[in-house]
Amino acid sequence: MKRLFSIVLTGLLASVISTNHAAEDYITNAGEIVKSANWEKMETVTINFDEYSYGTERFVFKVGQAYKLQLKNQSKKKHYFTAPEFYKAIATRKVQSNKDGEIKAPYFTALELMVNGQLDLYFVPVTKGEYPVYCTIGDHRDEGMEGRLIIQ
């Protein structure tokens, strides 16, 4: 019985290690980067969603700077803030809903904002580049709901 348990455990461990290995495309030492950033000098950036846009087309962030990105949806429809390449290029501390709680996750691909919803993304930019952000609901992207998230 003990031996069987140990075999199962070894299998589990191997699958965890291989899963981690497959996910090497996002910032794996995000925890260290987040810890060493200066959160007392955090900059707050607000993005107000319109009916079919993020208000502005370009958002610029600096490598190493700590940010709170406030996403606010005061339009009449729900919207996504989909940016898989951008989320891979940042060290995420947490995503916070000010009334419901917070999520601490190393990586995700999209955030969904309900009507009158707000989510705050706490992060540190790591990899320089230009990354698209867009809404995946219906024809919203074709209507113009996309932008560029720039890390420099």
Looking at the Cβ atoms of 26 and 134, the one nearer to Cu ion is 134
Looking at the Cβ atoms of 93 and 140, the one nearer to Cu ion is 140
Among 27, 37, 113, 135, binds Cu ion (CB under 5 A): 135
Looking at the Cβ atoms of 110 and 150, the one nearer to Cu ion is 110
* 93 sits near Cu ion (criterion: CB under 5 A): no
Q: Using the rule CB under 5 A, give the single segment among 3-11, 74-82, 87-95, 108-116 that binds Cu ion.
A: 74-82
User: What DSSP designation does 63 have?
Assistant: T
Q: Using the rule CB under 5 A, give the single segment among 22-30, 75-83, 113-121, 124-132 that binds Cu ion.
A: 75-83
Cβ proximity of 42 and 68 under 8 Å: yes
Among 53, 125, 140, 147, binds Cu ion (CB under 5 A): 140
Give the E-state strand segments of the chain in sequence order.
Answer: 43-49, 58-61, 67-73, 79-82, 90-97, 101-103, 110-113, 118-125, 129-134, 146-151
Distance CA 84, CA 25 (A): 11
* 137 sits near Cu ion (criterion: CB under 5 A): yes
Query: DSSP 3-state assignment of 95?
Result: strand
* 45 sits near Cu ion (criterion: CB under 5 A): no
Looking at the Cβ atoms of 47 and 135, the one nearer to Cu ion is 135
Amino acid identity of residue 82, one-letter, is T
Closest CA to 147 of 77, 70, 48: 48
Judged by the rule CB under 5 A, the positions of this chain that interact with Cu ion are 79, 135, 137, 140, 145
